Amino acid sequence: MNHDLGKKTIVVTGAASGMGRATTLKLTELGATVYAADRNYPALKETCDQSGAEPCVIDIRKAEECNALIEKAHNEQGKLDGLVNFAGVIKRSGLLECTDEEFDFVIDVNVKACFYLCRAAARQMKKQGTGSIVNISSIWSEIAASGVFGYCVSKGAVSQITRSAALDLAGTGVRINEVRPGETNTAMLASERGYTMSQQEIDIKLKTIADSIPEKRLADPSEIAAAAIFLLSDQSSYMQGASITVDGGYTIC
Ligand SMILES: NC(=O)c1ccc[n+]([C@@H]2O[C@H](COP(=O)([O-])OP(=O)(O)OC[C@H]3O[C@@H](n4cnc5c(N)ncnc54)[C@H](O)[C@@H]3O)[C@@H](O)[C@H]2O)c1
């Protein structure tokens, strides 16, 4: 499929790992100019050395750093065509155990930073009269999981950022949509489990998760990247406030 991405300038957050890295690699392969943002410089450098993307070290919890990232991409390239918000965190605690600090941390990264970046990009894109923003929620924005209370709350909020912003942006030439990934084979899936589980137990847990999915496997990050790239491209020109679920059939059972 011709995605017309070759001349686009796109900011990707969470580019040091998992889905953000896979998306950066694919976008640069398609010829796009990518500003790859993450707080983990060594891993981000690997992504950028491999892809030719521009490394941008950032803590997205700071609104001024989000504004500066969007401004840098726009000022250097004269336009900003796309933003994909992959950066995210998880804390594995349920309602009864979740501390104030854990809840704030997950909301700051997954929700407030998403707002800061959407707002900064949308302001710029509205002036241009064109642009596409892609948020990354989760199957846990639609259904709930136990033991990840703050994360589920945060992903529900990301879906509402997408829908609410879509109504504010409709008719301006700026589109905002989301990808809703299922269980995907990245560092996040195993993260935080090491406190209570051995590596062998983690491997068994991931196998159990894979077996619970109708497709009987985890998603590869490149399969989530494909949906994000479709939403960034002109091929999705009539999509506004929509969600693409990529979960191997998990949420239809
Ligand atoms: N892996 C899954 O199964 C899964 C499923 C559904 C949704 N998601 C969502 O997809 C997105 C990508 O997840 P992934 O699995 O690729 O995760 P990952 O852990 O592999 O990558 C997340 C990246 O975000 C970066 N990041 C975190 N906090 C940051 C901050 N404050 N500032 C800058 N960068 C920061 C990390 O350094 C990391 O490189 C996340 O929003 C996640 O919630 C993941």
Q: Each residue's pLDDT tens digit in the chain (253 positions)?
A: 556 899 999 999 999 999 999 999 999 999 999 999 999 999 999 999 999 999 999 999 999 999 999 999 999 999 999 999 999 999 999 999 999 999 999 999 999 999 999 999 999 999 999 999 999 999 999 999 999 999 999 999 999 999 999 999 999 999 999 999 999 999 999 887 767 788 899 999 999 999 999 999 999 999 999 999 999 999 999 999 999 999 999 999 9
- Residue 110 CA, ligand 1 centroid: distance in Å: 9
**Residues 170 and 122: beta-carbon distance below 8 Å:** no
Q: What is the pTM of this model?
A: 0.98
Ligand 1 pocket test: pick from 188, 222, 224 the residue with the most ligand atoms within 8 Å of its Cβ: 188
Half-sphere exposure of 79 (CA within 13 A, CB side): 12
Number of folded domains that form the chain:
1
212 falls within a domain: no
Give the per-residue SS3 of 189-242.
HHCCHHHCCCHHHHHHHHHHHHHCCCCCCCECHHHHHHHHHHHHCHHHCCCCCC
Catalytic (active-site) positions: 151
User: Whole domain around residue 64: which residue ranges?
Assistant: 9-184+220-243
Residues 6+ apart with CB under 8 A from 63: 116
210 falls within a domain: no
Looking at residue 1, its pLDDT comes to: 55
136 falls within a domain: yes
* Residue 60 Ramachandran class (φ > 0 left, ψ -120 to 50 alpha, else beta): alpha
**How many residues are there in the chain?**
253
234 falls within a domain: yes
200 falls within a domain: no
Q: Which element (helix H / strand E) includes 124?
A: helix 113-128
For 236, phi then psi, to 5°, come to: -105, 30
- Residue nearest ligand 1's atom 8 by CA: 138
89 falls within a domain: yes
Q: Which residues, judged by CB distance below 6 Å to any ligand atom, belong to the binding site of ligand 1? A: 14, 16-20, 38-40, 58-61, 86-89, 109, 136, 138, 181, 183-184, 186-189
55 falls within a domain: yes
19 falls within a domain: yes
CA distance 35 to 69: 8
Q: Within 10 A of 238 (CB to CB), how many other CB atoms are there?
A: 7
- Residue 86 CA, ligand 1 centroid: distance in Å: 6
Looking at residue 196, its pLDDT comes to: 76
- Residue nearest ligand 1's atom 1 by CA: 184
Residues 6+ apart with CB under 8 A from 46: 16
Q: Pull the structure tokens for residue 174.
A: 């700026």
CATH of residue 39's domain is 3.40.50.720
Closest atom of ligand 1 to 15 CA is: 39
